[in-house]
Amino acid sequence: MPHRILIIGGGFSGTVLAAMLLRRPPAGCAEIVLVERGPEIGRGLAYAVHDHPHLLNVPAGRLSAQASEPLQFLRFAQRSVPDAGPEDFLPRHLYGAYLKEFLQQAESAAAVPLTRVCGEVIRIVRRPGADGLAAEFAGRPPIDARWIVLAVGNPPPPVMPWAESVQHHPAYRGNPWAPMPRWRKDHAVLIVGNGLTMADVASCLCHDAADSPRVMTVSRRGLIPLPQSAFHAAAIRGDGAGLLECAGSIRQLMAASRTMAREVTALDGDWREVITFIRHLAPALWQRLPETERRRFLRHLESHWNVHRHRLPPELATRIDRLRRSGRLEINAGRIEELAPEGDRLRVSWRRQGSADLITTVVDGVVNALGPDYALNRSRDPFLKSLRSDGLVCADALNLGLRTGPHGACVGADGTLSERLFYLGPMLRADHWEATAAPELRDHAQRLAHHLAGRA
């Protein structure tokens, strides 16, 4: 019987999976449906066009959506940036254009049709019979499918307790990617969070050096991402068996990692090589760690891992350093206690790390740049809430994402592994830890595509 595959989400994960399935569709597949609630398939939030271009934080030579052609994206980029090299950090919107072409090329050669649907899925329901699922939409008829893949991308940042009462105030920006007011040099802006998003937002706010606002940030530890560099994997040898043997203890893993970093440095290598090596082993390491050790990592080391792992493009790192030295950007470690309205501004009450003294500051804007909130139990997204309330998905014990099985098969509330519903995206971090970068998600997409292609 002919059947349909429905992919919910047209960002990186959904677009790449659709292209892979078009190139090798499952036997009997009559149609692939790609649903996107935003204005454009292939871009999502990450690769949207902005007035102030944001840079990719991975070099162009490592971003191909097709593993067999590692320089595919670079060749695409060289059409508009002829002198681009494999170690260059290019504008994100260029990658969105590449993904659109990647899908179009797969579609043009496919024997199976691709249907693009612009709409918002509000619920997935079980159907009797062979095609056991259907996606219900707001404002259009449901679509039945034999298999549904959730590729909904990153959830929004959390709404923290101190922001509950002001989340609709005009000076509060809960979405760091939404258009910002035109804050000028006599304005003050607070960015909450010190990760990659903070760097993008600060750079955007301060792009006009002569008329940029004063920006301060607050995060729990005050750590900001370290810069990228051009390095080549040369100093590390072996398959990582020594690290895997340490996977029963975070303390042992840290000791082994530091030893490896010292050895690489002694050979004139780069510590980033060690991070990359560990990153490739991360899924196996994470799955071997007992839950108590995973919790210890999240409590003590996650923020340190993040600033070493998720690094800034050199150009952006230089810009952030220049803003700090000029006094336009102030990085702080501390905790926010309260946000309160002060007319059209906000009064911020916070404490520096290690201090009991309460500091009060009035700012013209507050931007939430805390990063995605992967805790399903806290999600305010109606679709994710419906999936959970209907028992189709469940959260992991550490609130890192969704519980999944092989190939991203969703685990239901009763612990049953679904044969029809799959997840592809950053919430795979619950079981794999490293599942947010394009190369990792590409590999997950490839495994899922091969799995579905082998199903009748």
- Encode pLDDT of 264-299 as tens digits: 888 888 898 999 899 989 999 999 999 999 999 999
Residue 401 scores a pLDDT above 60: yes
pLDDT reported for residue 342: 96
**Percent of residues, the chain, with pLDDT higher than 90:** 75
pLDDT reported for residue 1: 47
Residue 85 scores a pLDDT above 80: yes
pLDDT reported for residue 179: 86
pLDDT reported for residue 129: 64
Is the Cβ–Cβ distance between 327 and 212 less than 8 Å?
no
pLDDT reported for residue 48: 60
Distances (CA, A) of 375 to 388, 395, 404, 437: 12, 7, 15, 19
The CATH architecture assigned to 161-226+311-368 reads 3-Layer(bba) Sandwich (3.50)
Per-residue model confidence as pLDDT tens digits over 348-372 = 999 999 999 999 999 999 999 999 9
- The mean pLDDT of 3-28, rounded to a whole number, is 93
Per-residue model confidence as pLDDT tens digits over 138-153 = 889 999 999 999 999 8
pLDDT reported for residue 46: 60
pLDDT reported for residue 2: 60
Report the range of poorest mean pLDDT among 33-37, 244-248, 447-451.
Answer: 244-248
Pick the closest to residue 153 from 354, 349, 306, 15 (CA basis): 15
- Looking at residue 158, the DSSP 8-state letter turns out to be P
pLDDT reported for residue 60: 93
Evaluated on CA atoms 65, 70, 75, 80, the torsion sign reads: positive
pLDDT reported for residue 34: 97
Residues β-bridged to residue 8: 35, 150
Distance in angstroms (rounded) separating the CA atoms of residues 64 and 76: 10
3-156+374-453 — its CATH code? 3.50.50.60
Q: Do the domains spanning 3-156+374-453 and 161-226+311-368 agree at the CATH topology level?
A: yes
Half-sphere exposure of 162 (CA within 13 A, CB side): 14
Pick the closest to residue 243 from 280, 270, 290, 271 (CA basis): 280
pLDDT reported for residue 221: 95
Confidence tier at 241 by pLDDT (50, 70, 90): confident
| CA gyration radius, the chain | 23
Per-residue model confidence as pLDDT tens digits over 109-141 = 998 999 999 999 999 998 876 558 999 998 899
Residue 45 scores a pLDDT above 90: no
pLDDT reported for residue 130: 55
Alpha carbon 431 to its chain centroid, in Å, reads 15
pLDDT reported for residue 38: 81
Those residues with Cβ within 8 angstroms of residue 176's Cβ, 6 or more apart along the chain or in another chain: 157, 197, 200, 201, 367, 368, 369
Residue 174 scores a pLDDT above 70: yes
Q: For the whole model, what pTM was predicted?
A: 0.93
Mean pLDDT of the chain: 91
| Domain boundaries, given as residue ranges, for the chain | 3-156+374-453, 161-226+311-368, 241-291
**Percent of residues, the chain, with pLDDT higher than 70:** 95
Distance in angstroms (rounded) separating the CA atoms of residues 299 and 349: 25
More confident residue, 28 or 304: 304
Report the range of poorest mean pLDDT among 165-169, 236-240, 248-252.
Answer: 236-240
